Structure 1
Amino acid sequence: MGDVKRLGVGIGWRPEIAEAVEGLAGVDWVEVVAENICGDHLPDSLARLRARGVTVVPHGVSLGLGGADRPDAGRLDALARKAELLGAPLVTEHIAFVRAGGAVTATPLLEAGHLLPVPRTWDALDVLCENVRIAQDALPVPLALENIAALVAWPGEELTEGQFLAELVERTGVRLLIDVANLHTNHVNRGEDPAEALAALPVEALAYVHVAGGLERDGVWHDTHAHPVPPAVLDVLADLCARVTPPGVLLERDDRFPAPEELAAELAAIRTTVESAGAAAGGGLAAAGSGRTTPVSAGTAVGSSPSRPLLIGAGARASGGTMPAAAPAAPAVPAVPAAATAPAAPPRTSDLAGARQRVGLAEAALLSALVAGTPAPEGFDVKRLGVQGRALAAKRADVVAKVAPELPEILGAEYRPAFLTYARKRPMTDGYRHDALDFVESLLVAGLPADDSARERLTAWWRERAGIRPPGPVARLGHRIRTALARTAPGGGEHR
């Protein structure tokens, strides 16, 4: 698997906090959402950080390696070019699917606009492993994959999260980006014990760790990345660091950005948690480029041989409880808990095409229920699907407002309810920018908004941007819009 770069403590770089990130003390490295930068030039802030020698890691969100289709060659090429532009030591993505349908299932292609969990089945693992190998071959640096948070659980899963990750690493050699906030989210939402996931974790594959905040509402934990990191998430981080030295730990914040001093305080809390847990166990986090020798090597469990995986005994604390005193290093590796041992894989066949179709049909049925209002697939919690579906629609509204800020400015208080009404009827099929255009088209065809001035401004906005879209649907909808506008023009004439 090769050496793991020592990263230290970092923060997710976002345009909204670029100046703050540059000014924060103690930031060893940053991570940037790969889709938010171009492949031929960097934002000035990132260029200055690179000039200072700060490591920048691209973090992808759109490959959908857990989907039934093979990874898109264009997306892989774009990610590879950004890794080279940044001089990155690795790139990261997610164990998730983000779109479903299309040729594999002969159903309409739908996009989630969000990371959705793959079923933890042998079929899904076969498909994911093949997709990971394709991605690894296309990328110039190592790939690490992140465990995701989920509001819904697949029925009939055949593997736990820890078992699924261990099998994935065993088959592909891929590295892992462990998000402790996501482990906490799945603890609240799906009853999954973070300690059990960590017990099966192949820590020699650990690339780095994510830490983020969220909030609980109506018994559901929402992984918002827009709230402070709660103590329960720091507890999971401490559990991990008491048993393994993470090569790097990173704070993620994506919205509702606080003042720089609050970000600095969160980074300090993360560093204190890592150092305290590591010191109690005889380890610690090595700062990037410090030259300091770490008592416990990356990916090595305290009290174990470097060749053995991280093992947590049956008394390990679940997320949210009181941290117990660190036990002295044991002279021998404890027995593997039964829950951490993966069941023997059923005899596998070479029917990867069949596995892709089965996974594709299952994922398309779930995504269609979430974004298109089709019946819930058998075995799913209908109430929880409703929560997830509303969360997806709300995220669409938020992201469209960011990529097209003129729309909430033109529509004012009408923007959000109008968009949510649209989203219930129109699943996203081609990304957020096209989603914004589709939303405006739907309003104009319906003769909305009622205010003449707002409608004229929306019409001008749509006409200015519609040229970037491929022909076909635009031409047809353009005709419908011109017809609708002709009906509302003074004297019945057409606007020109």
Structure 2
Amino acid sequence: MERLGTGIGWRPEIADAVERMPGIDWVEVVAENVCPGHLPASLLRLRERGVTVVPHGVSLGLGGAERPDPDRLTALAERALALDAPLVTEHIAFVRAGGPLTATPRLEAGHLLPVPRTRDALDVLCENVRIAQDALPVPLAVENIAALFSWPGEEMTEGQFLYELADRTGVRLLIDVANLHTNHVNRGEDPAKALAELPLEAIAYVHVAGGFERDGVWHDSHAHPVPPPVLGILTDLAARVSPPGVLLERDENFPEPAELEGELDAIRAALRAGRRLAAGEHPGETVGEHAGETAGEHPGETAGARAGETARVPVGPALPAGTGADPVEAPGTGPARERLGLAQAALLSALVAGTPAPEGFDRGRLRVQTRALAAKRAGVVAKVAPELPVILADGYRAAFLSYAHGRPMTGGYRQDALDFAERLLGEGLPVDARARRALRQWWLERSGPVPRSRRPAVRLARATRRVLLRR
């Protein structure tokens, strides 16, 4: 596996700062946010300097009941080639459900949701991963996700689930230590046990991020500083294996560059502490020391090998891009897909359409997840249609959450923004006449098959035609 070093998530809001940061070996970019033919100038400059860029997908839904969409796979492959990436990454999650497989309405979650750790889900996930591996020009790594709730009737721990996934497919793993902390708080899972069960030799790189706790629930926000418990898990991981790369994630609420650099220093210090633990020494350092070191300074070594211990038996090398694993599936995943599809559709319907919660789930946690999905949806719509929060001012968030309640997203975020605006206009909102005119103008300019002409003569002719047609 290529040694990546220490990196940070590239986002447009901090692009200039990332270019100036010392010691950045690589960056990760959300795959769906870049266009292969029009890469941001900042990314091009980083590539020219030799900085590795890894596309990180969020929309494949490899943990869903349906097979991966060929168009989405093609788009991810195009971004890998455009960025000359050594690998691409995605999530062990489902992001949509319903449709022909279950004969129910297709629903979009708008965010990553956990898959049940069952044999059915594992069989489907393994086949989906193989399909993705065959379609991609570079190796694939998949990430463990954070969860606000647990599925009833799970048959494996997270470590067991990931170990078998890697063993059966040869896929690499992107281990998010912040998500291990999240699942510790929200699901009572022991991060040390998860690390002990993981196939550490399959790790492609590691994510580190911040979050916050509210009412006993940890929210993986990517908008807050990295807390000490997450750095502690990173140290534990580094005491077991030398990860090829470690990356700091931050998606919003961006601090000053100096604060981000301080978090990167803390990550380097945690890695150093882990290596010293592996060697039988006391870490004896504070966050921020050894800022010049990077992840993966000891290629090919596990912590056990460095400390004179017996290393764990590896799961085997990751498969080359464009090749599937040897077939070890139970014959046919059709029945498993149907069972998984029905379960995911029922759960997602409860979360976004207000239908009754399926049996066995913690209803309180599902309500937390419902609010989190709605808040995420409001935030993304505000980014893809930034004019709406300007037009609606302080009333945007409350108006959107009211609109989203029991009204699932079915056509993507841009369509969601249009539907939201149309709904408000249909109800005679906003009350302020100037804001209502601005909202109507915004909606008209984007809801037709082509943008409205800005030529006065054309607009006058269209307005006259509308008046005549109303007579």
The two structures have a TM-score, normalised by structure 2, of 0.88
Alignment of 1:56-455 (within 5 A): 56-282=53-279, 294=299, 296=301, 303-306=308-311, 308=313, 349-455=330-436
- In the TM superposition, what is the alpha-carbon distance from 1:296 to its structure 2 partner? 2.5
Using the alignment, how far apart are the partners of 1:495 and 1:54 within structure 2? 60
Contact 2:244 2:299 in 1 (8 A): no
1:40 Cα deviation from its structure 2 partner: 1.7
CA deviation profile, 1:258-283 (whole Å, cap 9, x unmatched): 00000000000000110121133139
SS of 2:395's equivalent? helix
Q: Is the 8 A contact 2:209 2:225 kept in 1?
A: yes
- Report the Cα distance in structure 2 between the residues aligned to 1:359 and 1:286, rounded to whole angstroms: 47
SS in 1 for 2:234: helix
CA–CA separation in structure 1 for the residues paired with 2:361 and 2:306: 37
Which SS does the other structure have where 1:242 is aligned?
A: helix
- Tell me if the contact between 1:29 and 1:56 (Cα under 8 Å) persists in the aligned partners: yes
- Runs (4+) of structure 1 moved beyond 6 Å? 283-290, 298-301, 492-496
On the 8 A contact 2:238/2:274 being kept in 1, the answer is yes
1:182, 1:450 → 2: CA distance?
Answer: 43
1:9 aligns to 2:6 (yes or no): yes
Alpha-carbon separation, structure 1, partners of 2:437 and 2:269: 55
Structure 1 stretch 427-436 or stretch 63-72: which is displaced more?
427-436
Which SS does the other structure have where 1:449 is aligned? coil
Counterpart of 1:489? none
Deviation of residue 366 (structure 1)? Answer: 0.6
Change in Cα spacing, 1:295 to 1:433, as seen in structure 2 (3 Å) is: closer
Cα deviation, residue 467, structure 1: 2.8
Contact 1:244–1:301 (8 Å) recurs in 2: no
State, as a whole percentage, how many aligned pairs show the same letter: 70
| Aligned partners of 2:238 and 2:275 also within 8 Å | yes
Does the Cα contact within 8 Å between 2:172 and 2:203 map onto a contact in 1?
Answer: yes
2-structure distance, mates of 1:201, 1:171: 14
Report how far residue 299 of structure 1 moved: 10
SS in 1 for 2:66: coil
Deviation for aligned residue 1:349: 4.6
Change (3 A) 1:412 1:123: same
Q: Rate the CA distance shift 1:293–1:241 in 2: closer, same or farther, 3 A.
A: closer
Within the alignment, does 1:458 sit opposite 2:439 as a pair?
yes
| Secondary structure of 1:249's aligned partner | strand
Q: Can you list the C-alpha shifts for 1:380-401, whole angstroms capped at 9, x where unaligned?
A: 0001100000010011111111
**Partner SS state of residue 144, structure 1:** strand
CA distance in 2, matches of 1:286, 1:144: 27
1:300 shift after superposition: 6.5
Contact 2:268 2:293 in 1 (8 A): no
- Partner in structure 2 of residue 322 of structure 1: none
Distance 1:349 1:53, change over 3 A: closer
C-alpha contact (below 8 Å) 1:285/1:294 kept by paired residues = no
Q: Are 1:76 and 1:135, in contact at CA under 8 Å, matched by a contact in 2? A: yes
Contact 1:68–1:100 (CA<8 Å) still a contact in 2? Answer: yes
Render the CA deviation track for 1:217-237: whole Å, top value 9, x for unaligned.
000000000000000000000
CA distance in 1, matches of 2:439, 2:469: 16
8 A Cα contact 1:66 1:97, kept in partner: yes
The runs of 5 or more residues in structure 2 that have no matched partner are 281-289, 316-327, 451-462
Where 1:150 maps in the other structure, the secondary structure is coil
Between the aligned partners of 1:395 and 1:371, the Cα distance in structure 2 is: 12
Structure 2 CA distance, aligned partners of 1:9 and 1:191? 30
Between 88-97 and 32-41, the greater mean CA deviation after superposition = 32-41
| 1:20-44 Cα distance to aligned partner (Å, 9 max, x none) | 1001001111000000100223100
Q: Which moved more, 1:301-310 or 1:182-191?
A: 301-310
Q: 1:302 and 1:31, CA in 2 relative to 1: closer, same or farther beyond 3 A?
A: farther
Question: Structure 1 residues 145 and 309 mapped into 2: Cα distance closer, same or farther (>3 Å)?
Answer: same
Kept in 2, the 8 Å contact 1:300–1:309? The answer is no
Question: Whole-Å Cα distance in 1 between the matches of residues 292 and 166 of structure 2?
Answer: 24
State the Cα deviation string for residues 175-229 of structure 1 (Å, max 9, x = none).
Answer: 0000000000000000000111111101111000000000000000000000000
- Do 1:203 and 1:299's aligned partners in 2 also have CA atoms closer than 8 Å? no
- Name which of structure 1's ranges 430-439 and 447-456 shifts more when overlaid on structure 2: 447-456
Look up the equivalent residue of 1:246 and give its one-letter code.
P
Range with bigger deviation, 247-256 or 350-359: 350-359
Question: Quick check: 1:70–1:131 contact (8 Å CA) kept in 2?
Answer: yes
State the one-letter code of the partner of 1:418.
A
Cα distance change, pair 298–237 in 1 and its aligned pair in 2 (3 A): same
SS at match of 2:240: coil
Separation in structure 1 between the aligned mates of residue 303 and residue 136 of structure 2, nearest angstrom:
23
Distance 1:262 1:121 in 2: 41
Instruction: Give CA deviations for 1:428-470 in whole Å, capped at 9, x if unaligned.
Output: 112111110110111112221122221111111111111359x
Partner Cα distance (1:300, 1:93) in 2: 30
Contact 2:95-2:111 at 8 Å conserved across structures = yes
Measured in 2, the distance between the counterparts of 1:433 and 1:300 equals: 51
* Equivalent pair of 1:282/1:296 in contact (CA under 8 Å): no
Measured after TM superposition, the shift of residue 113 of structure 1 is 0.5
- Is the 8 Å Cα contact of residues 65 and 94 (structure 1) preserved in structure 2? yes
Q: Within 5 Å, give how 1:463-478 maps onto structure 2.
A: 463-467=444-448
Letter in 2 for 1:21: V
Q: Take 2:203 and 2:470, find their aligned partners in 1: how far apart are those partners? A: 61
Amino acid at match of 2:138: V
Q: Which amino acid is the alignment partner of residue 147 of structure 2? A: A
Distance 2:154 2:30 in 1: 30
Structure 2: how far apart are the matches of 1:295 and 1:118?
31
Question: Are the equivalent residues in 1 in contact too, given 2:6–2:246 (CA < 8 A)?
Answer: yes
Instruction: Check whether the contact 2:7–2:26 (CA below 8 A) recurs between aligned residues.
Output: yes
SS of equivalent residue, structure 2 residue 17: helix
Tell me the matched-pair count.
435
